[in-house]
Structure 1
Amino acid sequence: MSNLFPTYNKKTINFQNGKGTYLYDAENKKYLDFLSGIAVCNLGHCHPKIVDALQKQVESIWHVSNLFTIHKQEELADLLVKSFNDGLVFFCNSGTEANEAAIKLARKHSGKFHFISFKQSFHGRTFGSMAATGQSKIHEGYGEMLSGFTYVPYNDLNALMDEINENTGAIILEVIQGEGGVIVGNNDFFEGIQALCKKHELLLIVDEVQTGVGRTGTMFAYEQTPLNPDIITLAKGLGNGFPVGAMIGKKKFATTFSTGAHGSTFGGNYLAMSAAFETINMINDLTFLESVKEKGEYLFNKLNEMKIEFPQITEIRGKGLMVGIELNNPVEKLVELLLDNGLIVGTAGANVLRLLPPLNLSYKEIDEAISIIKKAFSFYFLDSKVH
């Protein structure tokens, strides 16, 4: 009997080692990891540069608190604001914390407490970020949510316009709704949002927790859109597996988040900064990011070829190496079948397989994944006569 709360439906596999795009269980069975800890290990498992940086840091100093200067915070912040001009950074430990900070900052700065979010969005599981999440299943059983949030259909500009009033202070969105089904926002929608923010003096928060750190082929996904956010949030891939989050806001917010306005005991500690600095230093490179786009295109092409053989695939969507495969029936058993065949994938709703491989994977590894997917689909849809 486990002494853990049963908050996760855990598989019995116990991974012992990881290297690059592969994981190895207690029986030394090899798995191709196309989930990356849910978009976390963007440079694969145990990247030597990150391992080296952490080993050196462990032997020197771990924690002193944010009452003292930590130079690595300054160095990492300098790297991050290269892709977010005119920015200031607050470091925390997770995406939920980053979104909580963003909500607090936007409320305090605007003095308004009505925010607009989107149906099927996901922003976290603490009360502020949970209230920002447009999924009733996340809210169920917890009583009254933090007030002030309205949810409108994604990619529906008219619905959004109808909800703006004199008390509206901000809009929060994901460029691609990850947990909601890998739903990609269209640029007409984003152009409209940007125009509305300007017209009504609304703050724009872009949640880049899953889409950021190179996942879509640019450092931040919003860079491929007409959006000009006031605040963005990061986590997941930021530390390549080491817990770290960040909120980046424009310098105009400096007087809003002044001394004592917000804090984090562990945020920005030496170990997290060492892991994140090495990660960002490698990913925030034009050649590397271009390779993510090229590999993403290769993967999309391979998957789209499969649609001819498997009409059960209704849509392939996403961007870069964030991919959703929507099927016309539930995917839970397919996930298990793929796992049995040595491929780890995720889901995004009942009918969507989600692929989030490391960004530095090889074309050979993409081909290997496609081969496993074809084999599993053939058995599931053809041999077993599932329709």
Structure 2
Amino acid sequence: VQLTHVTRNITSTASHSLEQNGGSCAMSLYRNIVWFIKGMREYTRAGHEAASKNFMDKDLDMSVVGRSFMITGANSSIGKAVAMAIAKKGGTVHLVCRNKERAEATREEIVRESGNTEIYVHLLDLSETRRVWEFAEAFKKEYTSLNVLINNAGCMVNQRELTSDGLEKNFATNTLGKACYSVYVLTKCLIPLLEKCKDPRVITVSSGGMLVQKLNPTDLQTERTAFDGTMVYAQNKRQQVVMTEVWAKAHPKIHFSVMHPGWADTPAVATAMPQFHQMMRDRLRTAAQGADTVIWLAVSKTAVETASGLFFQDRKVVPTHLPLAWTHSSQEDVQVFIGQLKTLALTVRPSGVFS
């Protein structure tokens, strides 16, 4: 019933927008509506349950003893579920978290349930890009191996805020630093360590929201346009997809992937999108369901049989653009975007760091 109601409204609103504002407005509305309808069908708990009927149990039936995993945002929800699953398989797990008490409590719980003591806590606010540089350099000096980096942490700030480095917080966290933690800087700094290890992988947790956004390389910190936290978050997630595609070409020794966990019931969603959470609460995926594809990408042999740089949902490759969408980027825009990331990252690089 809700879907029928939404579809009716879409048709009439799109028609009105086309008449009043031209094709671009109607097409933008179309993208958002198609994304929502697609989400109602695939991103919810029911979507995961339907997809899981085709999962192969043997893909996750393995030990990862001797392999090292770093997970950002690992003290709750999807990140915690991933950490627990990997610990139970014997992997060494590095929990990168912002809150000391929650992180330590998570470590104790994982050790207790898994019997694995190779669980380490690292305190870091990934929106503070300078700290990310320092952390990554220190990690490379202390640890000799890292097989898998999982960029999971994320945030959605509904008002424009600046970090201590003077960067817009959503961007600093989700792109330069992964949504309250770091993607670009952390990944770039750790690539040399990853390349030295066997079967290295980098997985970034994105969002289906990126499907309604085209890469905007000219306003990375939302200085020239009206600030909408939800759309800024979606733009950051599009940026993560583009970064993954670029890294996959530049670093063929590493298997890069980006994934959509579906619409999961997380504290972040409840806080940042209360109306959406209230409306969809009974349909949202559990943290374990949201974490499933991350775990699969991190440990299974099947995952790395696919090409590097692809976008996944429910253990399969899915398109990064909606039908008829004009969200594709030119190579020039991608190069401008990557160039700006490098420049911004270097402006907050600590002295003496040359990665």
With the shorter chain as reference, the TM-score category is 0.3 to 0.5
More helix by share: 2
> What is the TM-score normalised by the length of structure 1?
0.35
> What is the TM-score normalised by the length of structure 2?
0.37
Q: Which has the higher contact order (CA 8 A, sep 6+)?
A: 1
